[in-house]
């Protein structure tokens, strides 16, 4: 519990309108995009400037109150769940796009700017910010940087860290530091910037960022390749790349998602198909035309039973809306959803996809498989119910085997959602103990009182 005197100080710092204490508010900020983690904070603060965050954190540090940074709370690893109570420090009211510099192709943002708002603003000048978590309507840039978020477009364009040039951070001591710069190259001492990117809000609060942006490609088109099984679809992914074509996006959806897709959009995908690839080519019009032809040819060669090229933008948009909605539908399909984001070298996708299906049969649980196949990043999701011990136990054992398989295939336990709470128990099991020790010591150095997002990444 936070004392009344401290809460009064917080009110003075952020303003009465930017502090939530009601039962409903504490409940609303007790969870994120996961379905198994929940913990209410003692207070939710909505600072509007970096100085306020620094003042709050100084008090929290001396009183040893946990502070959990939070953007939109769409994270899929429990990162913004205040597992030790204390303060949820939500940045959504720091949502100004400070500067768009088209000459240098950079933009300065506050951390609470949503990806959607940024891209709408950039579109006015013909630019965009490529990393595209499918939660773009509400995901914030602060949350994306803290998770090093990816998305479908990262196959061709790279993940968030490739677009962050500089950040301002309030450290757990309350000091404000600036890392990186506005330049593309920067080799000045240790690369602390990239230590903070992907650190899941455990090293400080990002209060501003300088990001790289790029021109919207003049043309794009979408192709859908339908397969009898995930294995053939998986093989087609790396065959396309091996043949020198780098599409903007390659997404894999399995039979479960195809059927959800059809329930929602009635687009005419065959309900008995084992899997489909949604592929987008973008670039100069002539190049897109050639790429689409080549992709269709390769997909047919490696077993596609049907290849469709979108007739127009409307049809293409329907496929991509369906992809987005398909993943969201997974979370509504069961009381508890174990949704992971294991990543393997691309050549191993067929094996991983097959293994997921085999485990589903063996443990008698529904395992949905979809994901950013072009990156080797799959999202096997197990539909279960944490209140049904027997079912949940089977689901957890199946997921353990998925992790084991990914690692055996040379992969990692997270490609974009981070470790947070969800994968903390696997982290120490699968990461080199010396590396874990270095990470723990870095955390202790930067956050000696362990107040910023405690309990995350490792137990
Ligand atoms: C339907 C759906 C689809 C998704 N698709 C993708 C996808 O394709 N790719 C992908 O990568 N992710 C995806 N996600 C996960 C999630 O949306 C991303 O991780 C996103 O970047 C989180 O942003 P957020 O603002 O919601 O952050 P939150 O969930 O609020 O926070 C995430 C983490 O960042 C920390 N954090 C937040 N703001 C700050 C800050 N200012 N400073 C320091 N730390 C901070 C938090 O403490 C937490 O650890 C998806 C989620 C959903 C629900």
422 in any annotated domain: no
Q: Do residues 210 and 314 share a domain? A: no
281 contact partners, CB below 8 Å, separation of at least 6 = 220, 221, 222, 223, 245, 247, 248, 287, 288, 291, 292, 295
Dihedral sign computed on CA atoms, order 74, 23, 332, 378:
positive
pLDDT at 267: 85
The residue from 90, 119, 148 where one domain ends is 90
CATH number assigned to the domain comprising residue 190 = 3.30.465.10
Say what the pLDDT of residue 331 is: 87
Last residue of a domain, one of 174, 195, 215: 215
Q: 136 with 240, same domain?
A: no
Indicate whether 230 and 120 sit together in one domain.
Answer: no
Counting from 1 in the atom list of ligand 1, the atom nearest the Cα of 160 is 11
Between 4-14 and 50-63, two packed helices, what is the crossing angle to 10 degrees?
A: 170
414 is a domain residue: no
**Token pair of 30 as six digits:** 């007790």
**Cα 332 from chain centroid (whole Å):** 18
Range of the domain at 55: 4-90
pLDDT of residue 265: 85
d(CA 367, CA 286) in angstroms, rounded, equals 40
Contacts of 128 (CB under 8 A, 6+ apart): 119, 122, 213, 214, 215, 216
| 102 and 86 assigned to the same domain | no
**Alpha carbon nearest to ligand 1 atom 9, residue:** 133
Ligand 1 atom 37: residue of nearest CA: 143
CATH code, domain carrying 74: 3.30.43.10
Cβ of residue 198 lying under 6 Å from some atom of ligand 1? no
Whether ligand 1 lies within 6 angstroms of the CB of 87 is answered as: no
Q: Per the structure block, which two tokens stand in for 184?
A: 């593309």
pLDDT at 428: 87
User: What is the reported pLDDT for 295?
Assistant: 98
- Indicate the top mutation candidate among 35, 80, 451 to test ligand 1's pocket, ranked by most ligand atoms within 8 A of CB: 80
Ligand 1 atom with minimal separation from the 32 CA: 29
Nearest-10 Cα torsion for 396, 398, 402, 405: 130
200 Cβ inside 6 Å of ligand 1? yes
8 A C-beta contact, residue 418 and residue 147: yes
Instruction: State if residue 72 touches ligand 1 by the CB under 6 angstroms criterion.
Output: yes
How many whole angstroms from 404 Cα to the centroid of ligand 1? 25
Q: Do 370 and 232 fall within a single domain?
A: yes
Top mutation candidate among 68, 72, 76 for ligand 1, by most atoms within 8 Å of CB = 76
Query: Is residue 166 lining ligand 1, measured as CB closer than 6 Å?
Result: no
Expressed in angstroms and rounded, the spacing between residue 145 Cα and the centre of ligand 1 is: 8
> Looking at residue 26, what is its pLDDT?
98
Are the C-beta atoms of 113 and 141 separated by less than 8 Å? Answer: yes
Question: Which residue's alpha carbon is at the smallest distance from atom 6 of ligand 1?
Answer: 133
Query: For atom 49 of ligand 1, which residue has the closest CA?
Result: 79
Q: Give the CATH number, domain containing residue 387.
A: 3.40.462.10
Q: What is the CA(356)–ligand 1 centre distance, in A? A: 25
Judgement on whether residues 57 and 116 belong to the same structural domain of the protein: no
Mention every residue, 6+ apart, whose C-beta is less than 8 A from residue 14: 45, 46, 47, 48, 52, 56
Q: How many CB atoms lie within 10 A of CB 283?
A: 18
Ligand 1 geometric centre to CA of 309 (Å)? 32
Last residue of a domain, one of 38, 60, 90: 90
* Rounded CA separation 392/398 (Å): 10
Ligand 1 binding pocket mutation candidate from 139, 155, 368, 379 (most atoms within 8 A of CB) = 139
Rounded to whole angstroms, the Cα distance separating 459 from 454 reads: 9
Q: Which atom of ligand 1 is nearest to the CA of 200?
A: 49
Provide the number of structural domains found in the chain.
3
> Same domain, yes or no, for 255 and 335?
yes
Q: Is the CB of 110 under 6 A from ligand 1?
A: no
Mutate to test the pocket of ligand 1, among 33, 34, 74 (most ligand atoms within 8 A of CB): 74
pLDDT of residue 56: 98
**Distance, CA of 237 to CA of 376 (rounded, Å):** 9
Ligand 1 contact via 350 beta carbon (within 6 Å): no
432 inside domain: no
For 106, half-sphere exposure in the C-beta direction (CA atoms, 13 angstrom radius) is 15
pTM for this structure?
A: 0.96
Q: Answer positive or negative: Cα dihedral of 145, 148, 154, 157.
A: positive
pLDDT in tens, the chain (459 residues): 899 999 999 999 999 999 999 999 999 999 999 988 999 999 999 999 999 999 999 999 999 999 999 999 999 999 999 999 999 999 999 999 999 999 999 999 999 999 999 999 999 999 999 999 999 999 999 999 999 999 999 999 999 999 999 999 999 999 999 999 999 888 999 999 999 999 999 999 999 999 999 999 999 999 999 999 999 999 999 999 999 999 999 999 999 999 998 998 888 899 999 999 999 999 999 999 999 999 999 999 999 999 999 999 999 999 998 888 888 889 889 999 998 999 999 999 999 999 999 999 999 999 999 999 999 999 999 999 999 999 999 999 999 999 999 999 999 999 999 999 999 988 988 899 999 999 999 999 999 999 999 999 997
State if residue 149 touches ligand 1 by the CB under 6 angstroms criterion. yes
Whether residue 79 has its Cβ less than 6 Å from ligand 1: yes
């Amino acid at each position: 519990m936070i004392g009344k005197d401290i809460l009064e100080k917080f009110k003075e710092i952020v303003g009465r309108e930017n502090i939530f204490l009601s039962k409903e508010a504490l409940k609303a900020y007790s969870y994120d995009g996961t379905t198994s983690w929940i913990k209410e904070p003692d207070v939710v603060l909505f600072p509007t400037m970096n100085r306020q965050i620094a003042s709050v954190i100084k008090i929290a540090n001396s009183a040893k109150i946990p502070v959990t940074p939070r953007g939109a709370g769409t994270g899929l690893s429990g990162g913004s769940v205040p597992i030790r109570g204390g303060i949820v420090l939500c940045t959504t009211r720091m949502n100004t796009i400070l500067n768009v510099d088209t000459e240098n192709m950079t933009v300065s943002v506050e951390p609470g700017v949503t990806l959607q708002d940024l891209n709408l603003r950039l579109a006015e000048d013909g630019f965009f910010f490529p990393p595209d978590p499918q939660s773009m309507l509400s995901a914030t840039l602060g949350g994306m940087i803290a998770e090093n978020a990816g998305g479908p477009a990262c196959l061709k364009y790279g993940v968030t860290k490739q677009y962050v040039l500089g950040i301002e951070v309030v450290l757990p001591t309350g000091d404000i530091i600036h890392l990186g710069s506005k330049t593309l190259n920067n080799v000045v001492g240790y690369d602390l910037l990239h230590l903070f990117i992907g650190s899941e809000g455990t090293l400080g609060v990002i209060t501003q960022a300088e990001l790289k942006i790029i021109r919207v490609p003049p043309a794009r088109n979408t192709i859908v390749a339908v397969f009898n099984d995930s294995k053939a679809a998986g093989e087609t992914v790396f065959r396309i790349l091996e043949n020198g074509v780098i599409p903007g996006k390659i997404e894999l959806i399995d039979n479960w998602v195809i059927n959800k897709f059809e329930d929602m959009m009635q687009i005419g995908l065959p309900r008995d198909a084992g899997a489909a690839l949604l592929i987008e080519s973008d670039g100069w019009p002539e190049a897109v035309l050639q790429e689409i032809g080549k992709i269709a040819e390769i997909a047919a060669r490696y077993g596609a039973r049907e290849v469709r090229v979108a007739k127009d933008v409307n049809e293409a948009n329907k496929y991509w809306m369906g992809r987005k909605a398909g993943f969201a539908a997974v979370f509504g399909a069961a009381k508890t959803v174990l949704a992971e984001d294991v990543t393997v070298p691309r050549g191993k996708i067929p094996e991983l996809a097959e293994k997921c299906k085999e485990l589903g049969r063996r443990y008698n649980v529904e395992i949905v498989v979809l994901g950013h196949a072009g990156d080797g990043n799959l999202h096997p999701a197990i539909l279960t119910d944490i209140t049904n011990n027997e079912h949940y136990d089977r689901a957890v054992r199946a997921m353990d085997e998925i992790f084991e398989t990914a690692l055996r295939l040379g992969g990692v336990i997270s490609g974009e959602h981070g470790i947070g709470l969800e994968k903390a128990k696997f982290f120490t099991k699968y990461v080199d103990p010396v590396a874990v020790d270095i990470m723990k010591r870095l955390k202790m150095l930067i956050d000696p009182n362990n107040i910023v997002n405690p309990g995350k990444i490792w137990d």
